[in-house]
Amino acid sequence: MSAYADAIARRFGDVGPSGEGVEDNAFVRQVLSRKTVRRYSEKIPDENLLDVLIAASLSASAKSDFQQASILRVRDTAKRAAIGALFPAMPWIANAPVFIVFLGDARRLQRIGEMRGKPVRNGTLEGLFNASVDAALVMQTMILCAESAGLGVCPISVIRNEIDKVAAVLGLPDLVFPIAGLCLGYPQTEGHVSLRLPRPATTHLDCYDDSGLVAAIDDYDRRRDARHAIPREQQRSNAEFGEVVFYGWSEDKARQAAKAEGAAFPPYLRSHGFSFD
């Protein structure tokens, strides 16, 4: 049997390739079984370990070698409390032993242009996108390395919903913006591997084809519900959409996406050096 069969079955729960004959690789198996963790034990991660994880995360690929990601660790207790207080519904933001913010940083390249007397204009959509991708890769590298070292993590993009206040606490200059924070600590609870969409819905061969989407989503909803049903009390926006008997993943995500989020982010970016051109 494939070294990956159990992990792939746990992740997708459907029939599909399971890596028959592929050599075992502990890191890949770890990634297949990764999960977000929001409750942490009292144990504080070692500072030297954090240094290594930061070095590893900054080893991520970087578009054009521009290296437009920065990492801001929030260690000051008053700053942590100030950010945590903005999001009382997510107490793990204030409580996690370690909190790091991943920044898209288009400023550094702009400054390098000035240093070298060149006309760098990095507040374009290209600059914004490149810095966002770089920062996301650095964050994901941190996530996977931290998890492989036994830590549990939770990315926190909700900080962008209060971008002005968060940026003030962190002293962010023009052309620097958070893509997300990251809570880190040792897991207090086991948690569970979240079932992913069936691979035929998210992978394509040679041309894009989503003709099977409706059936795939219905099937996924049923299988996911059988494994981890969304409790009745967690149904969103019942006043607007009503309570339903079968409340699956797609109903939940459609309701979530019906509520606009992140309205403060575009004006923040526009007033901090980005033109979107």
Of 31-39, 42-50, 104-112, 260-268, the window that binds ligand FMN (rule: CB under 6 A) is: 31-39
Among the listed residues 32, 50, 180, 184, the single contact to ligand FMN using CB under 6 A: 180
Under the binding rule (CB under 6 A), the answer on residue 157 touching ligand FMN is: yes
User: Per CB under 6 A, does 36 bind ligand FMN?
Assistant: yes
Which residue number, 120 or 230, has a Cβ lying nearer to ligand FMN? 230
Q: Is residue 194 at the binding interface for ligand FMN, with CB under 6 A as the rule?
A: yes
Q: Is 156 in the site for ligand FMN (CB under 6 A)?
A: yes
Residue of the chain from 13, 14, 18, 35 that contacts ligand FMN (CB under 6 A): 35
67 binds ligand FMN (CB under 6 A): no
Inter-helix orientation angle 249-258/213-227, to 10° = 110
Which window, 21-29, 30-38, 113-121, 220-228, contacts ligand FMN (CB under 6 A)? 30-38
Number of chain residues interacting with ligand FMN (CB under 6 A): 11
What are the C-alpha distances in Å from 35 to residues 147, 189, 196?
9, 11, 11
Cα dist from 12 to 113, 202, 227, whole Å: 47, 12, 11
Q: Is the dihedral of CA 167, 171, 177, 183 positive or negative?
A: negative
Residue 13 makes contact with ligand FMN by CB under 6 A: no
- Decide: is 100 part of the binding site for ligand FMN (CB under 6 A): no
Q: What is the DSSP string of 41-99?
A: -SPPPPHHHHHHHHHHHTTS--GGG---EEEEE---HHHHHHHHHT-TT-THHHHSSEE
Q: What tokens does 27 get?
A: 């890191």
What's the CA gap between 92 and 82, in Å, rounded? 13
Residues that bind ligand FMN (CB under 6 A): 35-36, 38, 90, 154-158, 180, 194
